[in-house]
């Protein structure tokens, strides 16, 4: 299974071809031939790094909402989506627009929204994998009698964060609207408009996509709950 050390190793490997690709582009004015090979290695390294990062979270059994088969594909698609929107904006400003890149970004946004909706539906309907009784080995209804300490510690703050259901629902809608729907619509308009209008729309689409993903990522962490919280009063996780 891909883990954190593997991810760091791939990240270090990616630095060398990235530097070589930059040399060919900046000093020799070429991105073809051997320089294109270095660029391809950078892209492949980036994709694998994202996949490795996703597996770091998906492999943590103690956090059921992360130990989910949808976490890796969501990570990869979000990386593809934000990268495609950014590339589309850069191409429209500094080079020749590529409709294929725009279409790829739109498709990734649609796919990403679908995967996120499926992920949220799955975690909302999931049954608890552990209870206070199973964690302590006791039978019957187990409740916390007294807190282990007088003030909250980092475990409760970092691994037991509570986000109200109504706030989570609102943030989900905001993330979908800002991070997926709006960039896709703006990109469709950019395909039809062309010129500097399209470039401006592409920049706004890229910025909105990144903002939406920031909200989505915050929710990913805020809605997760570590099994250790069973020892701090939670009935089930």
Query: Over the stretch 136-159, which tens digit does the pLDDT of each residue have?
Result: 777 767 776 666 777 776 666 666
What is the distance between the alpha carbons of residues 131 and 107, in angstroms, rounded to a whole number? 40
Q: Are residues 119 and 201 in the same domain?
A: yes
Q: Are residues 173 and 209 in the same domain?
A: yes
Q: Which of 11, 31, 59 is the last residue of a domain?
A: 59
The SS3 of residue 131 is strand
What is the distance between the alpha carbons of residues 27 and 44, in angstroms, rounded to a whole number? 23
Instruction: Give domain status of residue 237, yes or no.
Output: no
Q: Are residues 27 and 92 in the same domain?
A: no
Q: Are residues 80 and 52 in the same domain?
A: no
pLDDT value of residue 156: 66
pLDDT value of residue 106: 98
Who's near 222: CB < 8 A, 6+ residues apart? 161, 163, 168
Q: Give the pLDDT band of residue 4 (cuts 50, 70, 90).
A: low
Number of domains forming the structure of the chain: 2
Q: Are residues 89 and 41 in the same domain?
A: no
Residue range(s) defining the domain that contains residue 11: 1-59
Give the mean model confidence (pLDDT) for residues 33-62: 89
The SS3 of residue 25 is helix
- Report the chain's terminal Cα–Cα distance, integer Å: 24
- Residue 97 Cα distances to 172, 210, 220, angstroms: 32, 21, 34
What is the distance between the alpha carbons of residues 31 and 8, in angstroms, rounded to a whole number? 27
Q: Are residues 159 and 206 in the same domain?
A: yes
Q: Which of 59, 79, 99 is the last residue of a domain?
A: 59
Q: Give the pLDDT band of residue 1 (cuts 50, 70, 90).
A: very low
Instruction: Give domain status of residue 47, yes or no.
Output: yes
Q: Give the pLDDT band of residue 107 (cuts 50, 70, 90).
A: very high
Q: Are residues 85 and 154 in the same domain?
A: yes
Q: Give the pLDDT band of residue 22 (cuts 50, 70, 90).
A: confident
CA angle at 26 for the pair 24 and 27, rounded to the nearest 5° = 70
């Amino acid at each position: 299974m891909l883990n954190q050390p593997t991810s760091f190793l791939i990240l270090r490997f990616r630095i060398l071809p990235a530097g070589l690709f930059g040399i060919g582009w900046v000093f020799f004015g070429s991105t073809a031939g051997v320089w294109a090979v270095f660029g391809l290695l950078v892209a492949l390294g980036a994709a694998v790094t994202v996949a490795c990062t996703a597996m770091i979270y998906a492999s943590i059994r103690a956090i059921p909402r992360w130990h989910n088969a949808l976490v890796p594909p969501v990570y990869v698609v979000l990386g593809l989506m934000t990268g495609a929107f950014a590339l589309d904006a850069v191409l429209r400003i500094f080079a020749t627009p590529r409709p294929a890149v725009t279409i790829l970004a739109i498709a990734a946004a649609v796919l990403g929204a679908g995967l996120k909706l499926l992920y949220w539906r799955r975690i909302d309907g999931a049954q608890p994998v552990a209870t206070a009784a199973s964690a302590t080995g006791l039978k019957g209804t187990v409740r916390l009698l007294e807190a282990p300490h007088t003030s909250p510690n980092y475990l409760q703050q970092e691994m037991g964060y509570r986000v109200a259901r109504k706030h989570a629902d609102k943030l989900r809608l905001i993330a979908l609207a800002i991070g997926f729907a709006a960039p896709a619509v703006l990109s469709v308009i950019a395909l039809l408009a062309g010129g500097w209008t399209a470039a401006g729309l592409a920049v706004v689409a890229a910025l909105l996509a990144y903002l939406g993903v920031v909200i989505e990522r915050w929710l990913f962490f805020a809605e997760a709950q570590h099994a250790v919280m069973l020892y701090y009063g939670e009935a089930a996780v």
